[in-house]
């Protein structure tokens, strides 16, 4: 029987950061990480890969190089959690038992939730930075004009801003390539607004207006016809059962039935539907019913499990009302570490509190970025140091440099080493 004081499920951003911080605080802790992947990816740079301004190879490193010294790596998939037995089952290593558990396996792509997507995914003119950013770049380079449609699903997704970042970069690329005048750039989202935080929404609404981007809120994608290059949306505005297609319908929208709209695309970029891994959904550690069904049931401030006090969770799999980003994990990890160590030392969890901080580096073109930082309830929460020097609600070249050079450096050299 494999038994460890602390077992961490997931060797992604959250799992490695927590393990590294725990070891820095107490090198005698017996910790194991359960993670099947040989490779570790810096996914925030995939936006830039998709726009041809970052090399995909530079986003990939060997997982082995980032497992903290003294931490046991169980190179296997977790397949179940039984909190009553303090046990994690694995695909081929048998059961692993723990005194304390940190659940951080991330989320999974679920293209099967959008009919037609599995057949179309990363082929021809359908692309996604979430799965194959190099294909996105090929699609952009081969695009000759027509409808360039960018969309996102109704499920929670990693980095809610990513579907619009590539849209701004693509629009800028079409200008540089001399085809913008024969292109309709369409951003169709199930959301109600371009961005939830008013200070940043104001800037983005102006960009959309000035650059003639067609914004379609309340558009929830329901299926894709890859052969005919048509995407179908349900108009999801509350209280309105049908929608009207606006005058001057340059993108050729058509009504299909009472509530569906079909749009032909010459290029389609989308974030696929996303979900918690199946073993999490099937475990009692997830929320069993209601809006957060399938995601891990934690206190949104202490990140301690609401029903099993020796379990903590963070990162994309935790049910937290904030954006699922690496920046969020950077603020969540120290809270988990402090509260878990207090629990080990005193049998009572610490009271460190996470405020919901997340950030979305909104790349709005080549050499331009708006750094959107916020916390729970869509309250702006800018870094006091950066804000002294830069108005982060405006497009800035300095923020582009931060995105392209500063953040990747910080990720590999500080965050994953438990130093940031």
Tell me which of 2.40.110.10, 3.40.50.2000, 3.20.20.150, 3.50.50.60 is the CATH number of domain 111-273.
3.50.50.60
R_g of the chain, CA atoms, integer Å: 22
The H or E element containing residue 330 is helix 326-346
**The model's pTM:** 0.96
- Positions annotated as catalytic residues are 159, 360
Provide the pLDDT for residue 242. 57
How far is it, in rounded angstroms, from Cα 234 to Cα 240? 11
How far apart CA 213 and CA 150 sit, in angstroms, is 11
What kind of fold does domain 2-107+276-353 have according to CATH?
Answer: FAD/NAD(P)-binding domain (3.50.50)
CA distance 341 to 335: 10
Provide block-wise average pLDDT over 10 residues at a time, the chain (420 residues). Answer: 95 98 98 98 98 98 98 98 98 98 98 97 98 98 98 96 97 98 98 94 97 96 98 87 70 89 97 98 97 97 98 98 97 98 96 96 97 95 81 94 96 96
Per-residue model confidence (pLDDT) at position 240: 67
Could you check whether 2-107+276-353 and 111-273 share the same CATH topology?
Answer: yes
Domain boundaries, the chain: 2-107+276-353, 111-273
How many residues would you count in the chain? 420
- Measured CA to CA, the distance from residue 292 to residue 320 in angstroms comes to 9
pLDDT at 388: 83
């Amino acid at each position: 029987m494999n038994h460890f004081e602390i077992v961490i499920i997931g060797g992604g951003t959250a799992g490695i950061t927590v393990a590294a911080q725990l070891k820095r605080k107490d090198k005698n802790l017996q910790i194991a990480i359960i993670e099947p992947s040989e490779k570790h990816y810096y996914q925030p740079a995939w936006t830039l890969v998709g726009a041809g301004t970052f090399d995909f190879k530079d986003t990939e490193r060997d997982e082995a190089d980032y497992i903290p010294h003294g931490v046991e790596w169980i190179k296997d998939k977790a397949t179940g959690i039984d909190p009553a037995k303090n046990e994690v089952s694995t695909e081929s290593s048998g059961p692993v038992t723990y005194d304390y558990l940190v659940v951080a396996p991330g989320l999974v792509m679920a293209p099967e939730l959008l009919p037609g997507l599995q057949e179309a995914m990363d082929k021809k003119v359908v692309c996604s930075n979430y799965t194959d950013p190099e294909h996105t770049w090929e699609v952009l380079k081969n695009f000759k004009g027509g409808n360039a449609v960018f969309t996102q699903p109704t499920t929670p997704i990693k980095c809610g801003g990513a579907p619009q970042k590539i849209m701004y970069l693509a629009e800028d690329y079409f200008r540089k390539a001399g085809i913008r005048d024969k292109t309709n750039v369409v951003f169709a989202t199930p959301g109600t607004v371009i961005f939830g935080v008013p200070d940043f929404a104001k800037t983005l609404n102006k960009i959309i207006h000035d650059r003639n981007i067609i914004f379609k809120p309340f558009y929830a994608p329901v299926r894709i016809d890859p052969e005919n290059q048509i995407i179908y949306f349900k108009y999801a505005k509350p209280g309105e059962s049908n929608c009207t297609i606006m005058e001057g319908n340059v993108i050729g929208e058509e009504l299909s039935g009472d509530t569906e709209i079909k749009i032909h695309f010459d290029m389609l970029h989308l974030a696929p539907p996303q979900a918690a891994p199946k073993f999490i959904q099937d475990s009692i550690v997830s929320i069993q019913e209601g809006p957060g069904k399938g995601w891990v049931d934690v206190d949104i401030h202490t990140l301690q499990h609401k029903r099993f006090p020796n379990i903590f969770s963070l990162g994309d799999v935790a049910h937290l009302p904030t954006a699922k980003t690496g920046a969020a994990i950077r603020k969540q990890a120290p809270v988990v570490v402090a509260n878990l160590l207090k629990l080990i030392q005193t049998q009572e969890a610490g009271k460190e509190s996470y405020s919901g901080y997340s950030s979305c580096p909104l790349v709005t073109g080549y050499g331009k970025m708006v750094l959107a930082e916020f916390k729970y309830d869509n309250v702006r929460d800018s870094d006091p140091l950066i804000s002294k020097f830069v108005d982060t609600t405006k497009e800035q070249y300095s923020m582009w440099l931060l995105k392209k050079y500063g953040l990747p450096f910080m990720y590999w050299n500080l965050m994953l080493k438990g130093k940031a």
